[in-house]
Structure 1
């Protein structure tokens, strides 16, 4: 019988917040606890935590608003609080999911107390910076991220393409930890005729769906142009555009796409019903480290169109269970979407294969692999970062 671990997990975001990172960390944390491990989550206090206090499984820290992400908090440095807690109850290993001041203070404390650290590369902040008017900082941010992650025993990345890119940029000791999907929740059987009717979609119409944050980094201009291209290329088809999600671009997109139905943010079974009630899923983003929504759409039996990177590259075989385009090739993206509608058999076959593939991508194996990586860090020499500048 293997020994249970005491794991500290540090993150700026965590359920019930709604984003891909929070969803992944929630799944990993729940999976580790189900395996008998003791997991202490360290995160900033959020608005939903009013009146809540820290306990053995949760350490709340101070934070401040994260620009462009209303409702989220950027964690402040918590060196003294972490040192006090970890000297009293020392973790076996620390997992740092975010690289801000909170993550940096956790890294410093771990080095001081000689606790092994595994880090995760969950968000392409160096790419996002350009979309929010901080393009000049992108190179500096990449240097900081490389320095940060190279001070951990191991850095986990969600896709093979991400690992190749980071290796090219000088990141070291990278390992792949993919993502899973709850294929019982996201299932074609949840398709709802009444929901489709509320969208104004009849039985003979195809619903073109998009799920995600409505923000500049998501390349949503291509979503609108691709939908219009489908309408022009297939005038015999009746198409309806449905957008699930919220974000800073929602108001302007509602003005640009008056024909679209905007559903706002949806969660749990309601979200799964929205997926299953669509037909075609367009995902034009170029900034994802993974893209959980791709797997959710596949599990829901949708015809997914995406760029050949991250989750799509890992899980979609073009023409078999989805349609792919070379990253940045907008014409190729439009052609991939159009191919699905050229023949009813194309879409029918792809949707069946999508569901079949995703049904085998559960979280249990991912959690087991995560546990193995955490255990491996216990046996990694502490001297691996020797020769690098001290982190405190």
Structure 2
């Protein structure tokens, strides 16, 4: 079976979607399928990456971000005509949404992955003075209805992300959680030397691994550090990530014990940082899955997450805390976690790792292959969906 994946928001310094594409492609290839990816690039081109043929489409840069977005979906359609895929997998609900109609016309089974929750994003982007006045939910409902009608299957990775489709009674909805690199992110990567590069032994080390864009609300983590400093709690915050909001965040953090690392391309260094931290903060209110928080749990590090995001589903007793959206409440949660005894910290590291071990890429690949009508991976079954969301149909 030939599977063509296409996506926007894929760049060398990007995170979730790029990681998802890489693991899915590797899983499909291991199951004996041919994989082609169509993604934006500075110039048109073709290259081989890990056994996957990658077609790059010249695309403009989205202002204020490090991303390029394909603005001419008909160019992707032309490539699809040439590739003649057996299955189409779209990881974008914006400019690439018209590819669902291409698949319908060609009778190619298709699925689209909703990597964001549109109603929450629209609410975030609405100016404060207009919130509650604009028909944000109605606009999202119209867009989601059209999206679901264009594709054979809509895939969401959390119940939180699925809620806006469940509200519409979408019949072709599937729930498939993403996975985490359990081998790469592990408590054994804790490195005292690396930790001392950022914090003294008497100081708590907090970490944020995130793209620095406004919707990620990394300012809440900075505000939490300001509050902890006011309480005379000895802490250091390390922010791993880059983006358009970095300058504003650096100004906000002036005078505080905050270090900006920029984008960390070395995954081993990132894994060591996460394992060496005392607490990871995930302050984004519109996180649809949150791979970085799951990577922290796999590393044995507890997380503090925003109550309004999908990450609240991830946090169970013993692995972290859920906080309301303010620096004060994030400071409260971090302080509570830091107050644990050595025995409690050791038990929590085991609990966080055990929680992450429930999210494997093998299960994710199996779920996607089931949606594609291919043979699920033999190593794992498709995950159980939350109530009200149908599981992907198993291939005959």
**Structure 2 length normalisation: TM-score?**
0.82
1:108 Cα deviation from its structure 2 partner: 2.4
1:293 Cα deviation from its structure 2 partner: 0.7
Change (3 A) 1:291 1:223: same
1:137 Cα deviation from its structure 2 partner: 9.1
Structure 1 counterpart of 2:38, from 34, 39, 42: 42
Question: Does structure 1 residue 118 correspond to structure 2 residue 111?
Answer: yes
**Greater fraction helix:** 1
Where does residue 74 of structure 1 map in the other structure? 69
How many residue pairs get matched?
362
8 Å CA contact retained: 2:182, 2:360: yes
Q: Secondary structure at the match of 1:100?
A: coil
1:339 Cα deviation from its structure 2 partner: 1.9
Residue by residue over 1:69-116, the C-alpha shift from the partner in whole angstroms, topping out at 9 and shown as x without a partner, is 23x211133436635653x55322211111233341x22221211111
Change (3 A) 1:309 1:156: farther
Q: Secondary structure at the match of 1:9?
A: strand
Question: Does structure 1 residue 96 correspond to structure 2 residue 90?
Answer: yes
8 Å CA contact retained: 2:114, 2:161: no
1:220 Cα deviation from its structure 2 partner: 2.4
Q: Secondary structure at the match of 1:75?
A: coil
Aligned mates of 2:197, 2:86 — CA distance in 1: 52
Where does residue 295 of structure 2 map in the other structure? 296
1:127 Cα deviation from its structure 2 partner: 3.7
Where does residue 368 of structure 2 map in the other structure? 370
Which segment is superposed worse, 128-137 or 166-175? Answer: 128-137
Structure 2, unaligned stretches of length 5 or more?
376-396
Aligned mates of 1:238, 1:150 — CA distance in 2: 54
Where does residue 321 of structure 2 map in the other structure? 323
8 Å CA contact retained: 2:237, 2:258: yes
Question: Does structure 1 residue 32 correspond to structure 2 residue 25?
Answer: no
Structure 1 counterpart of 2:237, from 241, 248, 270: 241
Structure 1 counterpart of 2:359, from 355, 358, 361: 361
8 Å CA contact retained: 2:288, 2:311: no
Q: Secondary structure at the match of 2:235?
A: strand
Where does residue 391 of structure 2 map in the other structure? none
RMSD (Å), alpha carbons: 2.8
Aligned mates of 2:283, 2:53 — CA distance in 1: 38
8 Å CA contact retained: 2:283, 2:325: no
8 Å CA contact retained: 2:5, 2:88: yes
Aligned mates of 1:15, 1:84 — CA distance in 2: 20
Structure 1 counterpart of 2:101, from 101, 108, 122: 108
Structure 1 counterpart of 2:218, from 217, 220, 233: 220
Q: Secondary structure at the match of 1:202?
A: coil
Aligned mates of 1:342, 1:365 — CA distance in 2: 36
1:248 Cα deviation from its structure 2 partner: 1.3
Structure 2 counterpart of 1:211, from 202, 209, 212: 209
8 Å CA contact retained: 1:97, 1:103: no
Structure 1, unaligned stretches of length 5 or more?
378-392
Change (3 A) 1:369 1:152: same
Q: Secondary structure at the match of 2:60?
A: strand
Aligned mates of 2:121, 2:327 — CA distance in 1: 20
Aligned mates of 1:369, 1:306 — CA distance in 2: 26
Where does residue 386 of structure 1 map in the other structure? none
1:294 Cα deviation from its structure 2 partner: 0.9
1:171 Cα deviation from its structure 2 partner: 4.1
Aligned mates of 1:128, 1:308 — CA distance in 2: 15
